[in-house]
Structure 1
Amino acid sequence: MSKRNKLFIFILTLGVFGILNTEMGVIGILPQIAEQFNVSVSQAGLLVSLFALAVAISGPILPLVFSRFNRRGVMLLVLGVFVISNIFSIFATNFTFAIIARVIPAFLHPVYISIALTAAASSVSDKEIPKAVSKVIMGVSAGIVLGVPITTFIASIASIDAAMTFFAIVNAVAFIGVLLFVPSMPVRERLSYGSQLRVLKKAITWHSIVAVIFVNAATAGVYSYFAEYLATITHISGKGLSLMLVIFGAASLFGNVLGGKLLSKNAIKSVMIYPFVFGVVYIFLFFMGQFTVPMFIIVVIWGVLYAIASNISQYWITSAAPEAPEFANGLFLTSGNLGVTIGTTVGGLFISGMGVRYIVVGGLLFLILSLAFILLRIYMYTPKKQISH
């Protein structure tokens, strides 16, 4: 891979990191946001769930709409909107304004991610496509798992406004990178809308979508209130909380690599076993979450499994619709974020009705539902030989 291509892919990945950091970075500071705007933590969770809902709505639509325009121009548009919205978030004077400032750019989130994946793949030889795409996906993982501890740390030593400023700076740097170093990328070939939409006629596509929704609801429904759980149940806050989030993030980056290897070795079996393994971790979290040392071990394993969910989700949907990879990636983003919306909302209901500890029960219920649809797809569409090998 040439130095020019490496720089190009790095800029794409940086933009992905900035966008995902904007989406997920607030998770670690939900308690502070709730206090600043005088709302409950579950209400503050709307900043996560509504953002994800906007992504879920636009995921299968806007990438298709923008597919006819120059990719460089579209990337600049998306990153520019994110910069402006982050600046507005800094000066938000009430909770409603804060929500609006987050939801508007959220609709453009899947547009950039889809373009980044496509542009990375088209910039290298066929042999190097997996490597290039994996780097962009690493930006997704890094935005999710590193954005949270970085934002939490900034908020703990400075302020919430400083954390929001960090969001704006990262997206601004990505914008400048695209402006200066990314060439014009007119679209030369594209699949018709109809040929891509036809994958929605296949039952396997819908079984996969529902499974991915529940997988992401199971992970996000608990992780979205990670900071509140550590503060309330484990009695860890401040710099200790930041440290736990950093550990979670480091474990997740390892999980991203591990997930790819597991799927390469035996994808079907890896997907099938995943809900069982995560379920065991959640059971330990429920009964041992109040103890610091066991919680440290749980957080490490939890971080690894959390990242693997992204690999599994992307594989499960794209493998169901290989004839329309770009649209399938849009469905992956939609399904994942719809899962985040549902999981975060249900998690908030468990907090309001039963207490923070019981968000784990919600996570377990979603894992059971995900397993049901995973097994349904395997039973209906997967030859037995493919499962065993």
Structure 2
Amino acid sequence: MTKRNNLLIAILTLGVFAIINTEMGVIGILPLIADNFNVSISKAGLLVSLFALAIAVSGPIMPLLFSGINRKKVMLLVLGIFFLGNIVSMFTSSFAVLLIARVIPGFFQPIYCSLAFTAASASVSEKEAPKAVAKIMVGVSAGMVLGVPISSFIASTTSFTIAMSFFAMVNVIAFTVTLLFIPSMPVKERLSYRAQLSVLKKSIIWLSIIAVILMNGAVFGVYSYLAEYLKVVTNIPEKLISVVLLIYGVANIIGNIVAGKLLSKNAIKVVVSFLLTLGVVYTILFLIGKFTVPMALISLIWGILGGIGGNINQYWIASAAPEAPDFANGLFLTSANLGTTIGTSVCGLFITGMGTQYVVLGGLLFLILSVVSVLLRVHMFSFTKLHSK
């Protein structure tokens, strides 16, 4: 990669971090929000769930609508909207206004993330594309991992307003470096909406979407209850729970870095190995998850796999529709969010019906279905390639 490409990818990674930090960081200050705005914790949770819903709804639509506009202008627009949303959140005394200021940026989040994946891939050769995308994924993981503890620390030592100003500051930094250092990026070959939507006629794209929903469900269906698992099953102190969660998060970033190199060599082998290895990890988790030290080691390996899984999901859909990259990345974002929602709901049923320890069975169920969908997709790709000759 040239220095110019490295700078572009670094700025895109910062932009993704700024956006995901705004999305996830609020989780660390939900109790404070509930107190400040005099609402229940479940109502405060709408700031998270409605943001995610906005992403799921707008995922395939918004990147499609903005696919023909100069990419630098689109980046600045989205970062500007996130900055304004954070400014409004800092000073409002109305929970309804706070909710609106959170949800509106959520509809624009898929535009920036989709554009970041597309621009990173386009800046390098096809073989190097997974490595470039993996660097963007580092921004996603960092936003998810660092946003929660940083916002929680700032809020606990200062105030809610200062915590929200942190989100605004990161966004304005990303906006500034984009404005100063990213060159104009006009879309040279604009695809019509019809041409992009035509990828939905391909069976392989639907198999890819199903696979991503299942794979993300397998990871986040169990991970969403990791804190509860550590508390109830492993029975460790709350202070140690945060340490284990941090281990998982840092490992997730490592997984993103590793994934790019692996996918650029033999993608199919990586996908199948990922599913089988995660199955082994979940089986071990079920058997010895009661013990603290093994649980910390499991979380480390699990976190690395989670980072690899995120890259696999993006690659799996993007490679099924290379002729419409922006739309494909939008489909990826929607599929991943649906997978998280469905996986969390289904695995929650296992907890309700059988107990917290059995949440792992939900993850294994999603993994089995993932293997089936991946093999079907591989078979279809091979069949199509054979008959196209």
User: C-alpha offsets along residues 309-353 of structure 1, whole Å, 9 cap, x if unaligned?
Assistant: 112112211222222223222211221122122233445555666
Is contact 1:149-1:243 (8 Å) kept? no
Query: Displacement of 1:216 after TM fit?
Result: 1.0
Provide the rounded CA distance (Å) in 2 between the counterparts of 1:112 and 1:339.
20
Provide the rounded CA distance (Å) in 2 between the counterparts of 1:375 and 1:29.
42
Structure 1 residues 309 and 330 mapped into 2: Cα distance closer, same or farther (>3 Å)? same
What is the DSSP-based 3-state SS (H/G/I as helix, E as strand, rest coil) of the residue aligned with 2:66? helix
Structure 1 residues 48 and 364 mapped into 2: Cα distance closer, same or farther (>3 Å)? farther
- Where does residue 39 of structure 1 map in the other structure? 41
Mapping for residues 88-99 of structure 1, pairs under 5 Å: 88-90=88-90, 99=99
Identity %: 63
Query: Displacement of 1:308 after TM fit?
Result: 1.0
Is contact 2:131-2:261 (8 Å) kept? no
Query: Displacement of 1:223 after TM fit?
Result: 2.3
What is the DSSP-based 3-state SS (H/G/I as helix, E as strand, rest coil) of the residue aligned with 2:183? coil
Provide the rounded CA distance (Å) in 2 between the counterparts of 1:211 and 1:125.
26
Provide the rounded CA distance (Å) in 1 between the counterparts of 2:325 and 2:355.
42
Structure 1 residues 3 and 265 mapped into 2: Cα distance closer, same or farther (>3 Å)? closer
Letter in 2 for 1:204: I
Provide the rounded CA distance (Å) in 2 between the counterparts of 1:348 and 1:100.
29
Query: Displacement of 1:122 after TM fit?
Result: 4.8
Query: Displacement of 1:76 after TM fit?
Result: 1.7
Query: Displacement of 1:268 after TM fit?
Result: 1.8
Is contact 1:71-1:115 (8 Å) kept? yes
- Where does residue 202 of structure 2 map in the other structure? 202
Provide the rounded CA distance (Å) in 1 between the counterparts of 2:228 and 2:98.
20
- Where does residue 52 of structure 2 map in the other structure? 52
Comparing 298-307 with 14-23, greater Cα deviation is found at 14-23
- Where does residue 325 of structure 2 map in the other structure? 325
Provide the rounded CA distance (Å) in 2 between the counterparts of 1:191 and 1:371.
33
Query: Displacement of 1:25 after TM fit?
Result: 3.4
Comparing 313-322 with 153-162, greater Cα deviation is found at 153-162
User: C-alpha offsets along residues 156-208 of structure 1, whole Å, 9 cap, x if unaligned?
Assistant: 65666654443222212112222333333333321222222211111111011
- Where does residue 107 of structure 1 map in the other structure? 107
Provide the rounded CA distance (Å) in 2 between the counterparts of 1:327 and 1:305.
26
RMSD between aligned alpha carbons?
3.4
- Where does residue 84 of structure 2 map in the other structure? 84
Letter in 2 for 1:342: I
2:180 maps to 1:180: yes
Is contact 1:233-1:357 (8 Å) kept? yes
Structure 1 residues 277 and 253 mapped into 2: Cα distance closer, same or farther (>3 Å)? same
Provide the rounded CA distance (Å) in 2 between the counterparts of 1:46 and 1:225.
18
User: C-alpha offsets along residues 8-64 of structure 1, whole Å, 9 cap, x if unaligned?
Assistant: 332221111111222333456667767884335xx7665444333322221211112
What is the DSSP-based 3-state SS (H/G/I as helix, E as strand, rest coil) of the residue aligned with 2:67? helix
Provide the rounded CA distance (Å) in 1 between the counterparts of 2:216 and 2:35.
27
Is contact 1:45-1:344 (8 Å) kept? no
Mapping for residues 102-251 of structure 1, pairs under 5 Å: 102-122=102-122, 132-154=132-154, 162-236=162-236, 239-251=239-251
Is contact 2:130-2:264 (8 Å) kept? no
2:280 maps to 1:260: no
| Structure 1 unaligned regions, length at least 5 | none
Is contact 2:212-2:316 (8 Å) kept? yes
Q: If the length of structure 2 is used for normalisation, what is the TM-score?
A: 0.83
Comparing 268-277 with 149-158, greater Cα deviation is found at 149-158
Query: Displacement of 1:359 after TM fit?
Result: 3.6
Is contact 1:156-1:239 (8 Å) kept? no
Q: If the length of structure 1 is used for normalisation, what is the TM-score?
A: 0.83
Comparing 97-106 with 299-308, greater Cα deviation is found at 97-106
Letter in 1 for 2:110: P
- Where does residue 377 of structure 1 map in the other structure? 377
| Structure 2 unaligned regions, length at least 5 | none
Is contact 2:131-2:259 (8 Å) kept? no
Query: Displacement of 1:155 after TM fit?
Result: 5.3
Is contact 1:56-1:333 (8 Å) kept? yes
Structure 1 residues 27 and 312 mapped into 2: Cα distance closer, same or farther (>3 Å)? farther
